[in-house]
Amino acid sequence: MSLTGNGRHFNANANYTLNNLFFANSGRTLIRHQLNSNGTTEVLRDLFFVDGRAAILQQNAFLFGSQAPDNANLSGNTRNIRTWSISPYARHRFKNLASGEVRYARSGVSSSQRNFFNNSSDAFIASLNSGSAFRTLGWGINYTHTEISRKRAGMDLGKIELERTTGTLRYVVTSQFSLIGTGGYERNSFISIRGKPSSHFWTAGFSWAPTRRTNLSASAGERFFGKTFSGSFDHRTRRTLWNASYVEDITTFGQQSLLGGAILDAGSLGQLPGLGDSTNLLNQGLPLNVSDPNNFLTNRLFLLKRFQASLTLNGRKNSLIFRVFTLSRKSFSPDQEDADLIGLQNALLTRDTRQTGGNVLWNHRLGPRTNINVNFGYTQFQFNATSQTNDNIIATLGINKQLSEKINASLLYRHLRRLTKNTNNFSNDFSANAITAALNMNF
């Protein structure tokens, strides 16, 4: 079921899918719910707004388990994740001198996984940034305070506070090139196994936009966990789209879940993209997200470092997408916080992990109503504490055909393979083949 509403002062979108799955060989039935809803309303014109979001999804719970590409797969490693957030905020522009925003965000994340710390958070965010009156030297002041409450089986497990105050200076060298510096202090109240979690910080960098189609920014600095870097690159031509980004931050499973990360519902793998626009192809997530990094379940805080890059080539009949990524997660909380969740041995295994991979997607349009999709994806999981690695491969071949204005048909073949190395336990090795046929009618 899909609901979309747009008005002068609000917009809302809600998409709900019910999968009622019957497994013929075992006679088992399984019900899966998926929800993705969001909305924004303007309470007071140009001043006060409210954002809201709610989601129910399934995802692969742990790196050391089988990685299911959709929620119909009985891998034993999929869990329900429920997220929600509501955020009232006020914005005001002080003519051309500055613009400010004050926001409060209340959110929650819970899982069907036993011994996972369901959490809710309260965040207060305030910012004041210079306006167009400051042409050469711009400035900004930003403050964030997040308080995360954790519970398990109704028992309160204490709170975590993350607070940061940041000052920013931007020196405009030319209309295309600017130097940017930040400095401030962050105060974090959690038990850290890697030193004091609070300190002053600073970064220095630049932004460069030589054309309207090209943007490049980069920065380097120091935070309580050591040296830190960030950057982004975007470039567009008539036939190509280039993207690259790198980020680092202290975060939690819940904070990452609020950004998304579902696996597909039981029918989606049969609905491969057939659009000619390369941007739409890239944003479809089909079948790109079957080889995305896994935001695996953990109760610990961790340092996340993520690099991703993509290149889209779009022609009259062919679109080609290349994508690579690497994501590392290093725990800053004690292993004992995950001992009941996954066992102390697995907590040690996932203390320091890296996921590296990518995929190639080729879309060929045979005609105005028919297209073929070929995707090959590879991801390696590295467990640095034990030198264990897992190789995950997915290959898909699909055809999409628009039978009429209201009827679309698709056929997909999928091959999965997982290989575990540098360990005496090979029980997680597997291979699987699947054929999915789908017929969709709009009326």
Q: For 125-170, write each residue's pLDDT tens digit.
A: 999 999 999 999 999 999 999 999 988 876 777 789 999 999 999 9
Q: Determine how β-strand 29-44 pairs with β-strand 302-314.
A: unpaired
What are 54's strand-pairing partners?
37, 84
* Residue 423 banded pLDDT, cuts 50, 70, 90: low
Note the pLDDT of residue 285.
33
pLDDT score recorded for residue 427: 57
Q: Concatenated DSSP letters for 270-301? A: GS----S-HHHHHHH-TTGGGGSPP----SS-
Q: Would you give the DSSP letter of residue 339?
A: H
Structurally, at CATH architecture level, domain 2-441 sits in Beta Barrel (2.40)
Per residue in 78-112, pLDDT (tens digit) is 999 999 999 999 999 999 999 999 999 999 999 98
User: What is the C-alpha to C-alpha distance for residues 87 and 5, in angstroms, rounded to an integer?
Assistant: 19
pLDDT at residue 286 above 60? no
Q: Is the pLDDT of residue 392 over 70?
A: yes
Sign of the C-alpha dihedral computed for residues 413, 360, 257 and 418 taken in this order: positive
CA dihedral 326, 329, 330, 336 (to 10 degrees): -150
Single out the residue of 274, 266, 263 nearest to residue 409, CA to CA.
Answer: 274
Q: What is the pTM of this model?
A: 0.88
Q: Which of 35-39, 295-299, 422-426 has the lowest mean pLDDT?
A: 422-426
Domain ranges of the chain: 2-441
- Residue pair 394/377 in contact by the 8 Å Cβ criterion: yes
Residues of the chain above pLDDT 90, percent = 74
- Pairwise CA distance, residues 425 & 175, whole Å: 59
| More confident site: 152 or 195 | 195
Between these two residues, 353 and 280, which has the higher pLDDT value? 353
In sequence order, what DSSP letters do the residues of 199-260 get, joined into one string?
EEEEEEEEEEEEETTEEEEEEEEEETTEEEEEEEEEEE-SSEEEEEEEEEEEE-HHHHHTT-
- pLDDT band of residue 268 (cuts 50, 70, 90) is low
How do residues 361-374 score in pLDDT, each as one tens digit? 999 999 889 999 99
- Provide the mean pLDDT of the chain: 89
